[in-house]
Amino acid sequence: MTKKENLIEKLGVHIESKEQLAPLAARILSTLILTGKRGVTFESLVAELSASKSTISTHLTTLQAANRITYHTKCGDRKKYFTLIPDVMIKSMSQMLKNWKNERDLHLEIMEYKKEVNAQLPEDCSELFDLEFHHDYLEFLSQASASMEKLQKRLTEKHKND
């Protein structure tokens, strides 16, 4: 296995589990990530991923419908060159931030409930909820969100200038 093939496989497994995609769809995305702006032809995907034409075609159609990939053509060449949609990472970050906010809100609600329960118990009671985890986790979400927002802003500005 070449270095690129190995990386396509590793990245594909990661994308597959993270994004709930079919294995081949994840490997198509991995290939496009590692190819960049020049793009990959349908024929190259069939050869590189050792998959049937119909299966590659089905996944390309699905990924296009999901606004994950697009294609361009080159003058004098009838082939389509598939690439990632440039702002797909920015959209992914927005979804991640939204999920983290929902998780934060849920943890705050759980923490408030536990505080109320703790207030009704004697201070030396062994059944008191330990709230340290929630404090630490909320701090992590806050820091991670701030870092993600900063990165998203930089990518958005770069995307506008491209």
Q: What's the CA gap between 114 and 15, in Å, rounded?
A: 36
Co-location of 28 and 60 in the same domain: yes
Co-location of 112 and 98 in the same domain: yes
Co-location of 65 and 107 in the same domain: no
- pTM here? 0.72
Co-location of 95 and 71 in the same domain: no
Co-location of 69 and 133 in the same domain: no
Q: What's the CA gap between 117 and 112, in Å, rounded?
A: 9
Domain membership of residue 42 as a residue range: 3-84
Which of 53, 84, 115 is the C-terminal boundary of a domain? 84
CA 8 remoteness from chain centre: 16
Co-location of 74 and 19 in the same domain: yes
Co-location of 64 and 94 in the same domain: no
Co-location of 102 and 77 in the same domain: no
- Tens-place pLDDT, residues 49-106: 999 999 999 999 999 999 999 999 999 989 999 999 978 888 888 989 999 999 999 9
Provide mean pLDDT across the span 141-160.
91
Co-location of 92 and 78 in the same domain: no
- We report the CATH number of the domain holding residue 8 as 1.10.10.10
Co-location of 77 and 114 in the same domain: no
End-to-end CA distance of the chain: 35
| Percent share of the chain, pLDDT over 90 | 76
Co-location of 51 and 124 in the same domain: no
Q: How many domains does the chain have?
A: 2
Listed in sequence order, the DSSP H helices in 22-131 are 23-35, 42-49, 53-65, 88-119
Q: How confident is the model at residue 25 (pLDDT cuts 50, 70, 90)?
A: very high
- Give the pair of three-digit tokens for residue 20: 């709930």
